[in-house]
Amino acid sequence: MACATRKRILIVIYYISVLIITFGSGIKLAQASKVESKEINSDCHTRNMTLFAKENYKLGEQLQQWNEAYRLAGNSPVNDEIYDQLFDKWQRRQRCQNLSDVLSEVNISQQSDLIKHPIPHTGLKKLNETEINTWISSRNEIWLQPKIDGVAVSLVYERGRLVSVISRGNGIEGLNWREKANFIPAIPKKITTQEPLLVLQGEIYWKLANHVQEKYGGMNARNKIAGWLMRKISPIQIENDIDIFIWAWPEGHPKYEIQLGRLTELGFASAEKYSHKIENIAQVKQWREHYYRSQMPFATDGIVLKSFPPPKITAWQPSQNSWAIAWKYPLQSVVSEIKDLQFRVGRTGLVSVVSIIEPIEIDSKIVRKVNVGSLNTWKKKDLLVGDQVQVSLAGHGAPKIENVVWRLKKRQYPDTTKLEQFHFLSCLRYSPDCFQQFTARLTWLGKQIKIKGVSEATWRLWVENYGITQLTTWLSPHWQQQLPNTRKTAQFINQLQVAMSQPLGLWLKGFGIPLKQQQIMKIKSLDMIFNSTFLKDINVSKNQKKKLNQWLGEPEIQKLLKILQEVKQTSH
């Protein structure tokens, strides 16, 4: 009886545990679905779905062209991380239109010198840290290697003699570079083997001296080796800077230690040198950091994990590889979409352009906007809302646009003709068109004469709501009385006494006098700036004098100088 009761209790506990696991999994799936849905909705939220569909179709065509260039020639106009990000975006946009998110297979049948791979190239699926942790937990023997940035090939030996060096192509067939191998000492032309047919897969790469991936990036190493291999003219001299890394021996010994030793005997020692048996994610992260930050003789773009033994060669098919995966390095540049363009007129009339982008994360920093530069720089870069840009961090952590990686085909440019009217003497008084430059002038003046506690936002508020029309309106007691009776206002008024007693040179600098700092600070009275002898003594150049005369001739500057004269008399 007691035994039966205990059995029933165990059954109940079992079903409760199943329910808990199922419920928990359901929550995770729902959360994942919610995240994916949010991501898709973000990409697909548009008023003009017809234009959206056309642009994404064109992006798909471009991705296909880049894919073909990479598969056939081993190089591409864009690097892997940019391609992957654009491809992910294209896939999300395809899914929200209920369209296929798979690119067509690369068609290389028109090539006359193609040769079939004896064993197909499978490619690598790229996973993130969480996915890799799951992948590791379901496997027994795992090995790690650097993901060398080169050109993938098959080496085919018949009775020990090299007969083919086949480019990856579409994974099934590729170009035959056998003749080029004669000029690459690192590829053995004869090996000692009893096997009638021996097939190795690996990466031909350009050797680099003390290369640190984190510091130097890829240095275009893949395109360099691809260019050498794709030359129509045969090489004329031996190239000792080219090497090969064997990352797969599909029919090699099932024990990888033995396989690596045998590869070294055959003349491919780098595989044994750069292969590491791992047991957990901590070791994976450690080796990934090592290859990212240490000096290496090659460029890498991540690490590769492989489980052993691999399946039989009948399972080796293009894009069907579950036993080997890649974990790429942290993105050094991230693709984002321009959501808006802001044109800002600065104090001197220079127009700067700021691009508001889809928020991205680079090196743990969230980036929402990027300074493009001047109006002319923006025109040269040809940036529009909807364009996809490559964003990275400059030396001091400021975001910058490296490249436009994809432009909308339909170009609709904003009207910027009004922005051409601003210059170093414009907007010395307020008008609606002058709001930005006039506010920038006030902010600059306040900073020069050391008015503390008044930010650009405060000046902006006072211009909009309290009628500041001149750079010195705020000096008026009548104007000050209009401000709210607050502690901040009282603090500001107290700052006036400090400002009025500031040296004349600081006021002139605040008004934008076109002279250098050391020249300005030698001016002790306003009469001095009209004295040609004094100007000569402080080494005012011909160009400076021309600008100074323009500045002095401006009616609004003349009014400001008159007010300044009164201020200085009052302060004394």
Please give the C-alpha separations between residue 370 and each of 70, 71, 344, 359, in angstroms, as whole numbers: 30, 34, 13, 11
The upper half-sphere exposure of residue 417, i.e. CA atoms within 13 Å in the direction of its Cβ, equals: 1
**3-class SS of residue 437:** helix
Please give the C-alpha separations between residue 196 and each of 161, 167, 279, 294, in angstroms, as whole numbers: 10, 22, 36, 40
The catalytic site residues sit at 147
What φ, ψ does residue 305 adopt, rounded to 5°?
-115, 135
Residue 68 identity (one-letter amino acid): E
The whole-angstrom separation of Cα 436 and Cα 463 is: 10
**3-class SS of residue 282:** helix
The whole-angstrom separation of Cα 129 and Cα 115 is: 37
For 361, the enclosing helix (H) or strand (E) is strand 351-362
The whole-angstrom separation of Cα 124 and Cα 301 is: 13
Residue-level length of the chain: 572
The 3 state secondary structure assigned to 216-275 is HCCCCHHHHHHHHHHCCCCCCCCCCCEEEEEEECCCCCCCHHHHHHHHHHHCCCHHHHCC
Q: Is the dihedral of CA 295, 299, 302, 307 positive or negative?
A: negative
The whole-angstrom separation of Cα 204 and Cα 201 is: 10
Place of tokens 């959206």: 52
Q: Is 229 exposed, middle or buried (0-12, 13-18, 19+ CB in 10 A)?
A: buried
**Cα radius of gyration rounded to whole Å, the chain:** 34
